Amino acid sequence: MYVRPVTADDAPGINALMNPIHALGLHADRGPWTVDDQQAFIQSIPRGGVLLAAVDGEEIVGLQDVRPAGDKQAEIHTFVKLGRHGEGIGTALFDAMQLRVEALGTQVLWATMRAHDAGAVEFYKRLGFEVVGIEASRVRARWRVIPRADPLDEPTLA
């Protein structure tokens, strides 16, 4: 399994991943999405956003997007293929995403999930998100970039 940026050609593979998730009500939109819908979504990722796929063999088994939402802030969503939860796919996506959002200068990521989706809440907490509020059955969690020490700034030993 590896993680790579999504391309427009991935629309059918993403639909195969996402339409069962839509059907279960685990996404804000109930779907199902057509290939055209999915291509429109892929193309809607704005400058400063990132859309990553986790791929196992030829199959897309996970999807994560980050969209800018205010100054140096962004919103993240993660979806892993039904039946493949708990294998580290979501974590692998975030490991790859983290490097990209830091490079984009993002300082805060926001995740929103249904309050009864305890698995998603635990997932984001495990990644270092802190729950900052629950409103209208939605949990809001925040993740802050911890600046890495720049080796060039470290004092040199005389």
For residue 129, state whether it binds ligand COA (rule: CB under 6 A): no
At its nearest, how many Å lie between ligand COA and the CB of residue 76?
A: 7
Site string for ligand COA, 13-32 (x = CB under 6 A): -------------x------
For residue 89, state whether it binds ligand COA (rule: CB under 6 A): yes
Nearest to 53 by CA among 93, 104, 100, 9: 93
Coil, strand or helix: which one is 149?
Answer: coil
Assign 3-class secondary structure to 53-102: EEEECCEEEEEEEEEECCCCEEEEEEEECCCCCCCCHHHHHHHHHHHHHH
Phi-psi region of 128 (alpha: psi -120 to 50; beta: other; left: phi over 0): left
Report the residue number, 101 or 151, with the smaller CB distance to ligand COA. Answer: 101
For residue 61, state whether it binds ligand COA (rule: CB under 6 A): no
The type of residue at 128 is G
Q: Residue 133: beta bridge partners?
A: 140
For residue 80, state whether it binds ligand COA (rule: CB under 6 A): yes
Interface region with ligand COA, contact rule CB under 6 A, candidates 1-9, 66-74, 119-127, 145-153: 119-127
For residue 87, state whether it binds ligand COA (rule: CB under 6 A): yes
The type of residue at 18 is M
For residue 51, state whether it binds ligand COA (rule: CB under 6 A): no
For residue 122, state whether it binds ligand COA (rule: CB under 6 A): yes
At its nearest, how many Å lie between ligand COA and the CB of residue 155?
A: 38
Among 85, 116, 138, 144, interactor with ligand COA by CB under 6 A: 85
Q: Provide the 10 A C-beta neighbour count for residue 70.
A: 9
Nearest to 56 by CA among 24, 88, 28, 30: 88
Contact residues for ligand COA, defined by CB under 6 A: 26, 77-80, 85-91, 111, 113, 117, 119-120, 122-123, 126
